[in-house]
Copies of this chain bind each other. A is one copy, B any other.
Amino acid sequence: MSQQTLSKAGTKASSGYKYTFAARMAKTPKSFIREILKVTEDPRIISFAGGLPNPELIDVDGVARATAAVLAEDGRVALQYSTTEGYRPLRQFIADRYKKRLGLDISPDEILITNGSQQCLDLIGKVLISAGDHVAIERPGYLGAIQAFSLYEPVFHPVLLHEDGLDPAQFAHELKANPIRFFYGVPNSQNPSGVTYSEQRRKDIAELLRGKNTLLVEDDAYGELNFAGKSLPSFRQYLPEQTIITGSFSKILAPGIRMGWVVAPPAIMEQLVIAKQASDLHSNYLSQRIAYEYLTHEDIDTKIRVIQARYKAQAELMVSLMKELMPASVRFTTPQGGMFVWVTLPEGISSMEVFERVLKEDVAVLPGTPFYTDGGGKDTLRLNFSNSSPEKIRAGIGRLARVIRDMDRP
């Protein structure tokens, strides 16, 4: 068992006490993004670096009404301990919404409420990954998943992502070359790339997995944020026994209630519930009750349409400014939903250098390297458009394009 010994980097001076940590900690990437976000907390900075929903679209009054109702009607219960699986009416609501939105038959027993959808990734890692197991992931892949899974010490197999989804040929090759435990992907408005898999690509991927001992984890944090209000098929439709779906209320209701869920076939769910209980007994029950009260008394569909329209306008503005202002050698995605545009810089231009130069002009962008498990992505950037006003997008993209143009000169 290899151990990592760190000297004490503490405040308590002098005794030189040595701490020993579990081997897995050495394998977990440090939070590069958090360090960047600290730099960008300054309100003068125009930040495209984060991944926050637009706070103007959070319905504070609706949440306040829901909370007051829950506490007035059932406060003693809502403030007590509860079940590991989560509030059953909320799980039923989620199941019904899958039926309505995607035509999926999901039992509430196949749904577990989590502390945000990030916790789903931790639980999935706990339940499925033994050290050295093989996990396939998109390239670029979601940083939060890379972090969560890394603690369980898998071998990552990154598979190239195109504008229409995962590369089927490379995926087929990876499946043949190694016993892949599961593939993790974000088929709708991927983080970081903004890519949405086409229906054909979903079918191709599903066919490659059918009946194999490889599961598919579909992270659907952005499924409700398709700008056309379009719902593309879930992999559960093609592979009901092999698909795990993760969902979140953070993007459609509010991140501060920290509420997500995971959908899994019964045999997997049984293990997830054991892992959830060991991890934190159950999710915040007051927030579960608030979410249910909100979802059943406020008009969530209208709220979602408002969010879709706003993000669509912001994304279109960002993309049109980039078309206008960036050198032709800069490539970028055209998102159909979600919160991000993905930029590939011209040959030889480093995104870390772009980050540093544009920060001097009070604009923050996110270099793409943390989204790569293989050290790649040094010429990529992620830009967030959800949490900026049109004015900020205009000013920020203008400055970013100028910096890149300056660097792109021969």
Contact = CB atoms under 8 A, between A and B. Distances in A.
Interface string A346-367: 0000000000000000000000
Interface string A253-277: 0111110000001111011001101
A285 interface: yes
A19 B82 CA distance: 29
Contacts of A128: 21-22
Given A118-B281, A280-B116, A265 B12 contact: yes
Given A64-B68, A79-B58, A81-B250, A19 B122 contact: no
A75 B52 contact: no
Nearest to A81: B255
A284 B267 contact: no
Contacts of A132: 1
Contacts of A271: 21, 25
A17 B241 contact: yes
Copies of this chain present in the complex amount to 2
Contacts of A1: 130-133
A109 B72 CA distance: 36
Interface in A53-68: 53, 55-56, 58, 60-61, 63-64, 67-68
Interface stretch (A146-154, A161-169, A318-326, A400-408): A146-154
A196 interface: no
Given A34-B84, A258-B280, A8 B64 contact: no
Interface centre among A1, A28, A147, A258 (most CB of B within 10 A): A258
A115 interface: yes
Nearest to A266: B10
A267 B268 CA distance: 36
A119 B114 CA distance: 13
A242 interface: yes
Nearest to A278: B147
A199 to B, nearest CB: 23
B266 A11 contact: yes
A286 interface: yes
A180 to B, nearest CB: 12
Nearest to A254: B79
Contacts of A285: 255-256, 258
A30 interface: yes
A72 B76 contact: no
B119 A279 contact: yes
A274 B119 contact: no
A179 to B, nearest CB: 9
A278 B107 contact: no
A9 interface: yes
B129 A22 contact: yes
A240 interface: yes
A72 B24 CA distance: 43
Contact of A265 (B8, B31, B275): B8
Given A8-B266, A256-B78, A151 B287 contact: no
Contacts of A157: none
Interface string A1-37: 1010011111110010111111111001011001000
Given A12-B265, A67-B67, 17 more contacts: A1-B130, A3-B130, A10-B266, A22-B152, A24-B126, A25-B275, A31-B277, A56-B76, A63-B71, A63-B75, A79-B256, A80-B254, A81-B250, A115-B280, A116-B280, A256-B285, A279-B279
Considering the complex of A and B, which 10 residue pairs feature the smallest CB-CB distances, nearest first? A60-B75, A79-B256, A10-B266, A79-B254, A119-B280, A258-B284, A147-B278, A64-B71, A256-B285, A81-B255
